[in-house]
Amino acid sequence: MPGCFVNLFQMKLFALLVMYKDESPTRLKAAFDVSSFSFFQRSSVQDFMGFTAKLMAERTQIGDRQSISEGEYMCHVFVRADSLIGVCLSDQEYPKMVAHKLLTKVLDDFTLTVPRDQWTGGTEVAGFTGSLEIYMKKYMDPCQVDPMMKMEKDLDETKIILHRSIEAVLERDEKLHDLVAKSDELSEGSKMFYKTVPKQGCCSSLN
């Protein structure tokens, strides 16, 4: 995400989303923590987080896990066999194994809470309200949850596909700035913000 992301002294989660992989990924539920950004940047940063999540979900195959690095930030994506998607955005220090175990737990919980026939409605679901915020708070400090997770052997780290940048995930001849310009989901203000911030971090994970 662009150079507007501040340096933090602890590992941090910035966003957690549940989506459904249809022709275009649909956001079913989302939670964000943009408190570390300038007040005037928060809206645009959140827009870019949602944009990045959808973009990476589109480019992750069913059954795959990916962790995409961009500057100081990471985008972790898991698409289950049933097309349910979990995405979280974190800083570089956040352990990718913990991020993916978080996504697995969130999707399992979501499945138990929200009936499958609501996933394909094309809009956010009514249920699961507040659950992502609880998960973000609980997992904000991975050191607190990792001891429990060491008992779990169900996730093989070698199955996580790692990329050094968002550009590496895009299809041939695709450019991030072109996708930003064409996006119907980003406001004109957010597009202008993208053009003016230093392309080193904040949603220049978006560059």
By the 8 A CB rule, do 180 and 51 touch?
A: yes
Q: Can you give the pLDDT at residue 84? A: 97
Domains and CATH numbers, the chain: 13-199 (3.30.450.50)
Q: Can you give the pLDDT at residue 157? A: 64
87: pLDDT confidence band, cut at 50, 70 and 90?
A: very high
The set of residues, in sequence order, having a beta carbon less than 8 Å from that of 138 and lying 6+ positions away, is 144, 145
Question: Tokens in use for 39?
Answer: 């007040």
Q: Can you give the pLDDT at residue 50? A: 93
Query: How do residues 93-123 score in pLDDT, each as one tens digit?
Result: 999 989 999 999 999 999 999 999 999 988 9
Question: CA 33, CA 46: separation in Å to the nearest integer?
Answer: 8
By the 8 A CB rule, do 202 and 1 touch?
A: yes
Q: Measured between alpha carbons, how far apart are the two ends of the chain, in Å? A: 8
Question: Which is more confidently placed, 160 or 53?
Answer: 53
Question: CA 131, CA 67: separation in Å to the nearest integer?
Answer: 23
6: pLDDT confidence band, cut at 50, 70 and 90?
A: very low
* Long-range contacts, stretch 147-156, CB < 8 angstroms, 24+ apart: 149/97, 149/98, 149/101, 152/101, 154/104, 155/97, 155/100, 155/101, 155/104
pLDDT averaged over the chain?
82
Question: What does the pLDDT average to over 150-167?
Answer: 67
